[in-house]
Amino acid sequence: MKKWLLCASLTALAGCNVESTDKPTGGVGVVGDELCPAGVVTVLSDYLSTQIALLDKNGEVLSESFVSSGSMEASGVAAPLSGDVVAPSNRSDSGEVVLLDRFGTNVITWVDPASAEVRAQLPVGSGFESNPRDYLELSATKAYVPRWGENAEPSEDDPYSQGGDVLIVDPSIPEISGTIALPRESDQPPRPSSVTLLGRNALVVLQRLALDFASQGDSEIVAVDTDSDEIAWHLVLDGLEGCGRVMLSPSGKRMALGCTGTIDFDGNLIDPAATGIVLLDATTSPPTELRRISVYDQFNFPPQPEIEFVSDDVMLVKTQTPFMGEGNNQLLALDLNDDSFRVLAEAGPNDDGSGRGIVFGSMLCTPSCSDACLVTDLEHSSVRRFTIKGDLAELDAVSLGVDSGLPPVNLGAF
């Protein structure tokens, strides 16, 4: 249901059921190094069809239609992309463009950035809607894939049929090589939503949402030892719900999560007390909580689960606003020295004055590799850019997907 709600929200911005472009622009010759990615993967989508663009680290277009639902279908090499595709939150050392085809497809795709050719695809559904949420490549032969979906009737004969786990896959073949069970301490499935590497541990965030979506528990962080594939520690974020990925500060000394709380299918918040930004000390194991910062107290809306470090002391935060409700989506700069907020951008309302819902989508900052923080803007079908060295002053936006009708919704690195 959430997938269709996203499509409904986008209708006012771009219109659903729009064909992706049939004019591929091919691969790119840029190469990253051990510290910095080669560029940025940008997913353009109306949640029925998808187009992938490649940008450089500062947001300039390298290939506007690298691959798309149409081009992959025509190639005969691989199954076409669906409309529910994201780039992983972790860049792969291989330099490949990795795409996660989520609800309805449940497939991982590996694409050569130089040739735009699909190297391989791997189904990870195991007979149910596994909804793969993230991908962390640990070596050429090992990667983790958290599966958010839960199978109400798992098969005793299939060890991969339950879901709510972390799959171990071998990208080189590719094939599933194992699974890591996650804590099941209530009637709310784990719902692993993301994974972040910290030292030898992979930090997996659990969102604890019931099968019928009627109840949600406290979010949790589970650390998986990447050598043994066993759980090293488990931290419950008491009173916080709907938390996103663990984000590490550039120095690696602090980590933070954005917690949206529980919202209904129209994006309305259930409990403001379960929301906020939680800041933790990343130098301890498990990490110790430093403090919580309320977004709701100042803006009357919770944060979206995706946040981004600009520097050790500054973060990008977005408000979670309901579709066709009151209030406009805002992009904020959070100063961790005094926990103050500054509004960097605000979305416009609909013609009737109601809010557009989520307009500012995915964000990406690579402060040690570029001077631009990138933010997708569905309202203007663009990637907005903010200079890190210039106190987040806005640069010229980069328009994408105007001809195809597919706005940019997600960012990743390759």
Count structural domains, the chain. 1
Distance CA 345, CA 125 (A): 39
With a cut of 90, say whether residue 23 has pLDDT above it: no
Q: What is the CA radius of gyration of the chain?
A: 20
Beta bridge partners of 254: 281
Q: Is the pTM of this model over 0.85?
A: yes
Overall average pLDDT of the 365-389 stretch: 97
Nearest to 169, CA basis, from 233, 85, 109: 109
pLDDT, position 73: 57
Find the CATH number of the domain harbouring 146.
2.130.10.10
Share of the chain above pLDDT 70, in %: 93
Q: What is the pLDDT of residues 264-282, one digit of tens each?
A: 876 789 999 999 999 999 9
pLDDT per residue over 27-62, tens digit each? 999 999 999 999 999 999 999 999 999 999 999 999
- Tens of pLDDT, residue by residue over 212-232, are 888 999 999 999 999 999 999
pLDDT band at 19 (very low <50, low <70, confident <90, very high): very low
Rounded distance between C-alpha atoms, residue 341 and residue 77, angstroms: 48
What band does 390 get if pLDDT is binned at 50, 70 and 90? very high
- Which range of residues forms the domain containing residue 370? 2-413
Query: Does 308 have pLDDT greater than 50?
Result: yes
Q: Which residues contact 232 (CB under 8 A, 6 or more apart)?
A: 201, 223, 224, 225, 285
- Residue 162 predicted with pLDDT over 80: yes
Which among 379, 347, 366, 314 has a CA at the least distance from the CA of 41?
366
Q: What is the pLDDT of residues 97-107, one digit of tens each?
A: 999 999 889 99
The pLDDT score that the predictor gives to residue 270 is 93
Ramachandran category for residue 163: left, alpha or beta (phi over 0 → left; psi -120 to 50 → alpha): left
* pLDDT over 80 at 200, yes or no: yes
Does 75 have pLDDT greater than 60? no
pLDDT in tens, 81-100: 999 999 999 999 999 999 99
> Which DSSP string do the residues of 259-297 spell out, in sequence order?
E---B-TTS-BS-GGG-EEEEEETTSSSPEEEEEE-SHH
CB 124 within 8 A of CB 108: yes
